[in-house]
Structures are given as structure tokens and as C-alpha cells.
Structure 1
Amino acid sequence: MLFAFDLDNTIVTRTAELPGAIVESLNKLRESGHEVSVLTGRPPLTTLPFLGQLKIKECYSTNHGAYVIGKAGKVLRENRLKPTDVQGLLAPFLKEAHVEYACIAEDTVYVKNPNDERWHWAHTQNRYVKIYEEGLELHADKLVFSTLSGNAAIRAHVETNHAELLTYSWNDGYLEVTSPNSDKGSALALIAAELGYEASDVIAFGDGPNDVTMLEWAGRAIAVGPHVHDEVLAVSDEHIPSPEELGVKTWLEQNVLKLVES
């Protein structure tokens, strides 16, 4: 079978740690003849350390499904926002004091204010952080908006003027925008086909709104953690504890690894 995992709040804790016990359980899955894949909203640069811990070198996806790697590092899909999309999305908010934004383009993060604490993570990851200047022609992996007053107005702007783009709204006020046809569900379908699996032979684990299409596509869907999104619960077959509580490890031991050992 193919087991597909989201990273953050699914197998990675809220403090960005991948518990050794979960790593061990995923290693046992592979040793038992199963395939393990990761599909995350993170960009490649911040995904690679976790892939290294999991010994995953192929058949994974980043940027919410926009970037998909197959066997032997073959690129199955690489979608980016066009420069006209980037400019159109950012134009109404360039001078809005309450709106911060980041345009992520490979290893560079273009922002309104590089010193804003919301982009502290980019500095700590040794990313290039630059000021976004109007008129820049960037092919972006994704855009991230942040406002303390909620992101409903920004989301409405995107959905009205750029209906073909995908949006992911988070409870902390962040809104992420990606290119068309860049969801985790279609990414998982590409990975499964690359490995020779049907949807019925795939089990997916996730917690956030960007995991919904992946969970819908998989033959079995597992929601993870206490902060799981309502839409995730609606499409899931089961609900298990957080990575802090080693929910994935326990589920695998009870439902898969125990059967192998017996």
C-alpha cells in the first residue's frame, strides 16, 4: 500500500519537530513492503530536512501540490504563479498598512517589510529576504497574505478576480494562494500512478484545508490532531491524536505493523 502524509501537525509537531518514534514507525512501514510519501504545503527548501530524516528521496510533493517529484527525482509537475497573477494579486494591498504579504520564489522571499516578525522564519532558514517592489516580474511558488483582522476581504478579492487560483485560509489569519491545478489530491494521484497504485490502495493522513483533496482522493482518510479543520473531518474515515501524542505511530502499530508482525 501507499501511505501519504502531510507534515505540519500530522507527523511534525507544532514546534516543528519530527518525533523519532514516528520516524521509526514509517521506516518499519517501508521495511514491510509499503511505500511512504510526503505531501506538504511547505516549499522544497524547508521540506528537505524532514525528507532527509524520513529517508525519502523521491515521490513526494511540496508547495501544496504545485511541485511533484517522481521516481529518480523526475519532476512530474512544477506549477508557478505567473508574473501577471502576482502583480494583480498584490496591487490592491501594496499600500494597505494592515496587510503583510510574502511572495515566495524558490529560495527568495519578497515581502513588504523584511523586519516584520511574521517573516522571522525566513531569516532563520537562511532564505534571501527582499522587499517586493511594484512591477517586479516574478514566477512565484505561492503568495502568503497576513492580516490581524482576518483574511475574508483578501480571499474575496482573490476569488472574484482570480477565480482559477487556489486559496488556503488558516485560522491564524494567513491566506496562501497557489497556481491552478496545484492541489494535493491531484499530486497524490500523480505519485500513486508513478508507483503503480490505485486510490483504493492509498491511505492518507492530514489536518488542514490543503489536505482535503488528498484525503478525498485516497481510499482511506485519517484526520490528525485536535486542531483539525472541519472540512478534513468531513471527508475522513477516522480521527487520531496529534504528533505530540504520536497519533500516527499508534495508528500504524494497531492497524498495519501489528498485522505484519503477527
Structure 2
Amino acid sequence: MTSISLNLRSVEQRIAGIATQCGRAPQEITLLAVSKTKPESDITAAYEAGQRCFGENYVQEGVSKIAALSHLADIDWHFIGPLQSNKSRLVAENFAWCHTIDRLKLAQRLSAQRPEHLPPLNVLIQINISDESSKSGIREEALNALAAEISQLPRLTLRGIMAIPAPEPDHRQQLIVCQRMAALYHSLANDYPQVDTLSLGMSDDLDAAITAGSTLVRVGSAIFGARQYPSSSS
């Protein structure tokens, strides 16, 4: 087994262990392998080990990988980085998911630019749950209004919400924040039957996120090793 496949098994076992401890089925939780800055060979190694969901933060880097790995037809490509309006067409045309919707204008562009031959783009609304000025996302109280607008767009499917909480070493405090996100998610799911995704949790807060009810966790370096940086972040 390669180091990536061994790492992947370790992460999967960690997720399963946390889920079992809090009375959840491990199958309820999707692992998104964050492959930003990693070469196509690493993605292929993870794919060969059974991984199918991959997350990219940089539009052009992600599009290049999608083209190079198009022979792996069942990869589920997620865009998880901040998205500028002038890059929206590339996401609409190439990805299956966009996790970082934080304004109606962006959602409208993605819907208009989504090709008719593809299924609707799955989208998540990003919540700035820790109210950090350095992070994208809407405030909690703006969720219902934005969700109502997005749900009317014909080429998008609203699937849920996403957040990147502020770093917090204390598990109890992590859990409080994650439970706030879970409450927003359940409220949204009550209003929209297609909502089934709470994208919450990375390596440092995986335990709290899964305990609170996350359905999708984002893990990168624990699978692929230390992050490398591309020459361009676009």
C-alpha cells in the first residue's frame, strides 16, 4: 500500500471511531479529500485506494486536474475555495459542487452559466459562524433569505451549508460552535427537502464536528502530507 492509501485508511478509521462513539453510523459521513496544491499522481493514488470525493480551492488548478483526470469518470469534484465572480463560469462548467456561496449575485451567475447537458450544480451556503472579518460567508441571520433566493434558481440545487470555524483548541468550545451550525442545518433541512449536507470539520475539529452532526468533513494534509503552494492562488 502507498503512504496515501495508508493515510486514507487511518483517516477513515478515525472518522468511523468518532461516529461510533457518538452513536452515528460512519456511512452518514462523507470524507472530502482536499487535494489543493497536490499533483494528479496523488489524487490517482487516493482514487485507487477507493476515494471518490475531492476538494479544490483554486479554480484554474482544479480545472486543470479535472481535465487531466477526466478518464476517472466517477470522481466527485467539489470547489471549496473563495470564488470571484469572474471565475464563476469555470466552476459552473467543471465542478459538481460549490461550497462557498455567500451572495446572490454569485449564485445567479453559476446558475446562468451551468451547461444544460450537466445536472444542476450542487451548492452550499457558506456561514461565517465565527464572525471573522478575514473569512467569507454570510451571518447566521441572513441564511433564510439567501436560501429562499437560491432555491428558485433553475440550474442550482441547494444541498446545505458550510463553515470554517475559527481555530479553537478547547473541544467544548469547538462543540458549541459546531452545534450552532447543526441547528442552522436542521432548520434549513426542515424547509427544503433536498438539503442533506452539513460541510463542517477538518483535522483539528473533526471530533466536535462529527459529534454535532456534520455529514461531510474536509481533510487534506492527513491524507496527502504537508501542503505545497502553487505559483498562483487563482
Which bin holds the TM-score, normalised by the shorter protein?
A: 0.3 to 0.5
When normalised by structure 2's length, the TM-score is: 0.34
Name whichever structure is richer in strand by fraction.
1
When normalised by structure 1's length, the TM-score is: 0.31
Name whichever structure is richer in helix by fraction.
2
